Amino acid sequence: MSRISIIVGSTRPVRIGRQLADAVAAKIAPEVDAEIRILDLAEIGLPLLDEPLMAMMHQYQNAHTHAWAKEIAASDAVIFLTPQYNAGYPAALKNAIDYLHGEWKDRPSAILSYGGHGGHGGTASARQLREVLEFIGLDLIDSGSLTIAQTDYTPEWSLADADAVIARHGDEVLRIGAELMEKIDAEDAAAA
Ligand SMILES: Cc1cc2nc3c(=O)[nH]c(=O)nc-3n(C[C@H](O)[C@H](O)[C@H](O)COP(=O)(O)O)c2cc1C
C-alpha cells in the first residue's frame, strides 16, 4: 500500500502541531488509497545535524540518519505540517530537511502551514519553506494554510477541538490528499 507521511514540524512540549496532524490524518485517510503515517519530529528526536559529510554524498554515518532516511524513502508523498514562528518555519524542521538529500528529490509533497496572528494561516512560513524545498527539488503541489483563532485554544494552549479546525479547512485538506494521491498513482502507472 502507498504511504503518505505527515511531518510534524513543531517540537515544543506544549504545541498544537500533533493535534493538527492527527486531525489531518483522520480527514484524509478515508478519501485516499494510502496509509497515513505521522512522522513527529518531537518523537523522532534528531539531534542538531551531526553528520560529518553533506547529505548529497549519501554516506550517512549515524543510526538516526539511516532511520530518518528510511522513513522518507518509504513515503510515497509527504505533507510538511508547519507552524509559523517569527515569519518563518521551525528550526527543527529545517534540521530534519538538511539531514537528507536524495530521499527528498522528486518526492510528491505539500506544505500545510498554520498560524494564529492576523488570520494569515502561516503563509510566511510556507513561503520560506517552499523556497527551500524547491531548491532541493521536491515535487510540490500548491500549499494549504490553516487559520487558528484565539478561541480555538484552551487556556493551556492546546486545541479544544482539532477536528473542528480541520473541518473548517476541509476542502483544502482534502484537495491536498487528492492531489498527492494523483501524483502517486501517476508514478505507479509510469513504473508499471
Ligand atoms: C517562537 C514563536 C513565534 C511565533 N511567531 C508567529 C508568527 O510570526 N505568526 C503567527 O501567526 N504566529 C506566530 N506564533 C504563534 C504560533 O503560530 C502558534 O503558537 C502555534 O500554536 C504554534 O504551533 P505549535 O503550537 O504547533 O508549536 C509564534 C509562536 C512561537 C512559539
Residue 15 Cα: closest atom of ligand 1: 25
The alpha carbon of 50 is separated from its chain's Cα centroid by a whole number of angstroms, namely 22
User: What is the per-residue pLDDT across 17-62, written as a single tens digit (0 to 9) for each?
Assistant: 999 999 999 999 999 999 999 999 999 999 999 999 999 999 999 9
**DSSP 3-state of 95:** helix
Confidence of residue 169 (pLDDT cuts 50, 70, 90): very high
CA of 84 to the centre of ligand 1 (A): 5
Confidence of residue 120 (pLDDT cuts 50, 70, 90): confident
As for ligand 1, residues whose beta carbon falls within 6 Å of it are 10, 12, 15-17, 83-87, 115-117
36 within 8 A of 25, measured Cβ to Cβ: yes
When pLDDT is averaged across residues 118-130 and rounded to a whole number, the result is 90
CA neighbours closer than 13 Å in the CB half-sphere of residue 52: 3
d(CA 178, CA 43) in angstroms, rounded, equals 27
pLDDT recorded at residue 98 = 98
Q: pLDDT at residue 156 above 70?
A: yes
Q: pLDDT at residue 119 above 80?
A: no
How many domains does one find in the chain?
A: 1
Instruction: Tell me how crowded residue 77 is: count the other CB atoms within 10 A of its CB.
Output: 27
pLDDT recorded at residue 118 = 66
Task: Name the residue of 11, 15, 24, 84 to mutate for ligand 1: max ligand atoms within 8 A of Cβ.
Answer: 84
d(CA 181, CA 77) in angstroms, rounded, equals 8
The fraction of the chain above a pLDDT of 90, given in percent, is 97
Domain CATH code at residue 103:
3.40.50.360
d(CA 140, CA 130) in angstroms, rounded, equals 8
The residue contributing the CA closest to ligand 1 atom 17 is 115
* Structural domain harbouring 47: 2-191
When pLDDT is averaged across residues 74-103 and rounded to a whole number, the result is 97
Question: What sign has the CA pseudo-torsion 59, 65, 71, 75?
Answer: negative
179 Cβ contact list (under 8 Å, min separation 6): 110, 141, 142
Cell of 174: 482534502
**DSSP 3-state of 117:** helix
CA of 152 to the centre of ligand 1 (A): 14
